[in-house]
DNA sequence: CCCAAATTTGGGACGGCTCCCAAGTGCCTT
DNA sequence: AAGGCACTTGGGAGCCGTCCCAAATTTGGG
């Protein structure tokens, strides 16, 4: 069924030399006669020889592959980030296995097992909105395989992490709304379990406090990031006795959906109600009104995470470091505020 | 540097039995005493034993992995498609290695080599806009590794392919513009080398012909799909002595960019100039005006391609088939036309 | 109670490659 | 002429599983 693959032995036989010599010629070992090397290289090329990663992996106990697990890639955030990670990984000679957990804890666990089975040399991961138990990830530490979190991180694990200035970004965003005269600012947040949400909420609270706006519990809502549930919460906000005059949304997809829903009701954005998002997705500048949002350096996050991972792989387990890199955010003011 | 990985030998030693027995217990071979099996399974679990894919791959000469190469995933099209492919692959017990060629022929060749080195059991690919030479892909056929094209296919290779009704879709789109009273319909197409562009152009021509609108060469332009070049061609169209009253764009990103540019000039869409795209990207319904476009079943394309590949892998090389599956498209009328 | 059959286990080759060690070749030095 | 050195090459073990074949053990029927 499977055709015979060309091996170094085939080349050796053909040239009447030993497989050792062929191997050396192919890997660029210096102690091979120039003529021999050239003959080997030529023949390898002619026969479309391809080194067998299995045997190399078996010897080296390393796959030169790193894995990345993201919750989803239907929106632009994670694909963008993967591009950055892929760049860096490639630069360092690593291949990238990508998989998506589909925001399901179960799928995440299964994907992690797949990564393990594929003998990845390291793992990049942004957890799902459901993930509360980290046993499946701790296995990596026990096995001495580095792991790096990005975006959605696990607080209880001491490993490298890449996040953005969520709190500062949120603070700036809310302060901006206040500067536009808004006083009843709602916050549509994500699951409380995600630290990213905690930090953005902290920024929201801090901004209110600084400007002596008292916090109204009615204006803070957590939801599970399922986009079609945005409707429930937007309606809830709109039907409050004292309607909010602005909504700070946990991310851009949420904000975009909110805008869509609010436009349907005939309310004006931003006059009646301002909307602000987080992340500066590609779409955000295209919608009507264009979305004010907090830009995060997405590709940069991917690059940084990959770099941290590669550094960690190069280190001995005993020397593992666990920096948390915090990237800058920037407020992009557009027409929704 | 690398911690010792638990092997079947460790388990065997611990239990005082042979590695053969451990292997059999682990793989579920029937001829193992129940007690022995249980002890092995228990210990394997305790030690967090993980089968080494390298050695298995070395024996089996199969990796249970398929690769997918896409030109880019900064827009929603390919990520969506990958989701579909991933679903099917997983269902069939295959893992998916994803990589992007970044619309560069050179990167594509290098990615293909990586796939080969990783011993993928099959390859899904949508070629770059630059790819004219297919030697790097023909190697797969010679080596007996199945390959399936989707979306952007290679005409000269006889392998399974998944495309959509490009011609019919384009025909319907252009006919729709005609029904709205448009007569000077421009077509902003992609590289002539891509068969997808040829087919859409054919649909455009057919619609003009059917409605006895003579084809004006000035209204047909090919470009290389670099989004920031759209400006050049839109300007060209707008500055023609007889300005077109509609533009049929090769895809949604192009159309979206065209809308953005035209809005800047103050022209009204669709009154002065109608725009129509192809693919129904996620963004298309969100922009202002929302984009009329030809919807293609993106996920379905991914699923179908993966299925064709898996079928092919299961077949003996001599029985390889090369169906071309054509999926339906559907016109989605929105406000840009 | 013995032998054949069935059940369970062990031994070892194999897959493709790397790398260590030893051996072969050629040439220079004394 | 013989020893020594540098340069090349070959041989073989090992990486970790799988699987065939043979050996060991148990079972059961006569």
Phi, psi of B162 (to 5 degrees): -125, 120
Please tell me whether residues B291 and B184 are part of one structural domain: yes
Q: From the list B82, B99, B119, which residue is nearest A53 (CB)?
A: B119
A3 vs B contacts (CB less than 8 Å): 143-144, 317
Write out the H or E segment, with its range, that includes residue A94: none
Cβ contact (<8 Å) for B80 and A86?
no
Cβ contact (<8 Å) for B1 and A316?
yes
Answer whether residue B279 is part of any domain: yes
Answer whether residue A280 is part of any domain: yes
Three-state DSSP at A65 gives strand
Please tell me whether residues A268 and A302 are part of one structural domain: no
Please tell me whether residues A21 and A78 are part of one structural domain: no
Q: Which two tokens stand for residue A315?
A: 């280190």
pLDDT-wise least confident of A212-216, B58-62, B219-223: B58-62
Q: From the list B53, B114, B286, which residue is nearest A118 (CB)?
A: B53
> Which nucleotides of chain C does any protein CB come within 7 A of?
7-12, 14-20
Please tell me whether residues B178 and B139 are part of one structural domain: no
Q: Does the pLDDT of residue B253 top 70, yes or no?
A: yes
Q: What is the pTM of this model?
A: 0.88
pLDDT score for A99: 87
Q: Does the pLDDT of residue B21 top 60, yes or no?
A: yes
CA distance B278 to chain A (A): 17
Please tell me whether residues B176 and B282 are part of one structural domain: yes
Please tell me whether residues B224 and B287 are part of one structural domain: yes
pLDDT score for B192: 92
Q: How far apart are CA A63 and CA A57, in angstroms?
A: 5
Please tell me whether residues A112 and A230 are part of one structural domain: no
Q: How far apart are CA A93 and CA A306, in angstroms?
A: 12
Cβ contact (<8 Å) for B97 and A100?
no
Please tell me whether residues B32 and B175 are part of one structural domain: no
Interval A33-79: pLDDT, tens: 999 999 999 999 999 999 998 999 999 888 888 999 999 987 889 99
Contacts across the A-B interface (CB distance below 8 Å): 126
Termini Cα distance of chain B: 63
Q: Does the pLDDT of residue A3 top 80, yes or no?
A: no
CA distance B48 to chain A (A): 8
Please tell me whether residues A318 and A276 are part of one structural domain: no
Residue A41: CATH number of its domain: 1.10.260.40
CA dihedral of B166, B167, B168, B173, whole degrees rounded to 10: 80
Rounded to an integer, the average pLDDT of B206-231 is 96
Answer whether residue A170 is part of any domain: yes
Q: Which domain holds residue B211?
A: 166-295
Answer whether residue A264 is part of any domain: yes
Q: Does the pLDDT of residue B128 top 90, yes or no?
A: yes
What is the domain count for chain B? 3
Cβ contact (<8 Å) for B283 and A282?
yes
Answer whether residue A335 is part of any domain: no
Answer whether residue A59 is part of any domain: no
D14 C1' closest Cα residue: A59
Interval A244-272: pLDDT, tens: 999 999 999 999 999 999 999 999 999 99
Q: How far apart are CA A77 and CA B80, in angstroms?
A: 13
Please tell me whether residues A151 and A173 are part of one structural domain: no
Residue A261: CATH number of its domain: 3.40.50.2300
Answer whether residue B335 is part of any domain: no
Please tell me whether residues A14 and A115 are part of one structural domain: no
Write out the H or E segment, with its range, that includes residue B325: strand B324-327
Answer whether residue B77 is part of any domain: yes
pLDDT score for B99: 87
Rounded to an integer, the average pLDDT of B197-219 is 97
Interval A113-127: pLDDT, tens: 888 888 899 999 999
A63 vs B contacts (CB less than 8 Å): 54
A143 touches strand D (CB under 7 A): no
Mean pLDDT for chain A overall: 94
Please tell me whether residues A194 and A288 are part of one structural domain: yes
Q: From the list B79, B98, B286, which residue is nearest A286 (CB)?
A: B286
- B313, B146 Cβ separation under 8 angstroms: yes
């Amino acid at each position: 069924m499977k055709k015979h693959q060309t091996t170094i032995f085939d080349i050796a036989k053909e040239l009447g030399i030993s497989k050792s010599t062929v191997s050396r010629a192919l890997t660029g070992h210096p102690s091979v006669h120039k003529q021999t090397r050239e003959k080997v290289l030529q023949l390898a090329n002619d026969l479309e020889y391809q080194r067998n990663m299995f045997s190399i992996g078996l010897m080296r106990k390393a796959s030169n592959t790193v894995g990345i697990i993201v919750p989803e890639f239907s929106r632009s955030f994670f694909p963008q980030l993967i591009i950055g990670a892929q760049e860096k990984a490639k630069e360092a000679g690593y291949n990238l296995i990508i998989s998506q957990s589909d925001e399901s804890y179960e799928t995440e666990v299964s994907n992690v097992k797949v990564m393990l089975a594929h003998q990845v040399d390291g793992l990049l991961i942004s957890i799902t909105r459901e993930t509360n138990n980290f046993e499946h990830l701790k296995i990596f530490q026990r096995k001495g395989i580095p792991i790096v979190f990005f975006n959605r991180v696990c607080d209880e694990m001491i490993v490298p992490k890449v996040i953005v200035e969520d709190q500062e970004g949120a603070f700036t965003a809310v302060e901006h709304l206040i500067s536009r005269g808004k006083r009843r600012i709602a916050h549509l947040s994500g699951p409380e379990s995600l630290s990213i949400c905690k930090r953005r909420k902290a920024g929201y609270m801090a901004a209110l406090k600084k400007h002596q706006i008292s916090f109204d519990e009615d204006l803070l809502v957590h939801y599970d990031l399922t986009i079609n549930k945005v409707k429930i919460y937007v309606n809830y906000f709109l039907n409050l006795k004292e309607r909010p005059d602005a909504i700070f949304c946990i991310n851009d997809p949420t904000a975009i959906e909110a805008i869509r829903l609010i436009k349907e009701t005939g309310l004006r954005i931003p006059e009646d109600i301002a909307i602000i998002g987080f992340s500066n997705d590609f779409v955000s500048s295209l919608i009507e009104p264009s979305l004010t949002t907090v830009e995060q350096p997405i590709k940069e996050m991917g690059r940084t995470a990959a770099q941290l991972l590669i550094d960690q792989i190069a280190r001995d387990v005993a020397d593992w470091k666990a920096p948390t890199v915090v990237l800058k955010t920037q407020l992009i003011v557009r027409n929704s505020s």
